[in-house]
Structure 1
Amino acid sequence: MSYPIEPGDIVTVTITGIQPYGAFAVLPDHTNGLIHISEISDRFVADVHSFVDIGDEVRVKVLDIDHQSHQAKLSLKAMHRYKRRYRRAASFKRSPIVETPKGFAPLREQLPRWIKRGITKEEDI
């Protein structure tokens, strides 16, 4: 990689070690990094091995980097969030919301009934 890696960059790293608190990795510029267990997944992580193994190449987001000590804080779960957002946005593009010919008229007609029914239910409580 010809440019310095900075926070916010997305890079492919190689997992070099696993501990109960996270996974160690080496970045393309030979900087060492840690994916803390809290940055592995949005879900509960009982065992880091269930997400990565030594030698795996994974894409991560660089959260912070110290160029003096050549150490980086990395996030694997940020990549999962990015993928979910991308898929969700792509699905909206494929099926746009189409307004019905009647617009909001059916809702406007039903609203007084819903309000009356709601008030009646509240009085019953």
Structure 2
Amino acid sequence: MSMEVGSIVEGVVSGITNFGAFVNLPEGKVGLVHISEVADVYVNDVKEFLKEQDKVKVKILSVDEKGKIGLSIKKAQEKKPEEPGQEPKNFERKSFENRSARPEGGFNNAGGDFRRSAGNSRYNSGNTSFEDKLSKFLKDSDERLTDLSRKTDSKRGGRGGGRRR
């Protein structure tokens, strides 16, 4: 049996590191299953999924010119065909019923919707023109920058300038 890219072979886990697991393959070869190829879910610690001497089916992803073999356990697993029109089981759909509305419009943080509603914006006041909104924004922004520079200057001991000699 040759080690061809795309083939699925069985091997034995020979070592576990923080970045993956080494697998002994047929013909005395050794390949690496990177931590990202261990499972379909996020893997923080390979030892939570594998231990030494485990028999595993792996798919050969790559064989480079130095003979290093890249393997995948998650791609070797047979995927169950999903029926059309069904959502995956691990997908959690959030509906509007799960969110509680705030009086000013929008939703609380439990629903995860952080967008501003039409009545919640500082610069949105009905029929004002774009130029009016822009001038109000610039005025407010300039006031904030002035306040910020006053606060930072007082922490530095004034405007500086007179201290160098």
Which consecutive unaligned segments of at least 5 residues does structure 1 have? Answer: 90-125
Cα distance in 1, alignment partners of residues 63 and 27 from structure 2: 12
Q: Which runs of 4+ in 1 moved over 2 A?
A: 68-71, 82-85
Deviation at 1:71, TM superposition (A): 2.3
Structure 2 partner of 1:63: 61
TM-score, normalised to structure 2, is 0.46
RMSD: 1.7
Cα distance in 2, alignment partners of residues 69 and 8 from structure 1: 18
Deviation at 1:57, TM superposition (A): 0.7
1:1-125 equivalences under 5 Å are 3-66=1-64, 69-80=66-77, 82-85=78-81, 88=82
- Specify the SS of the correspondent of 1:38: helix
TM-score, normalised to structure 1, is 0.60
- What amino acid does structure 2 have at the position aligned with 1:33? G
Contact 1:31 1:71 survives alignment (8 Å): no
Deviation at 1:12, TM superposition (A): 0.3
Task: Tell me how many residue pairs correspond in the alignment.
Answer: 83
Contact 1:60 1:79 survives alignment (8 Å): yes
Deviation at 1:79, TM superposition (A): 2.2
Cα distance in 1, alignment partners of residues 13 and 66 from structure 2: 19
Cα distance in 2, alignment partners of residues 78 and 46 from structure 1: 18
Cα distance in 1, alignment partners of residues 67 and 32 from structure 2: 11
Identity %: 39
- Specify the SS of the correspondent of 1:78: coil
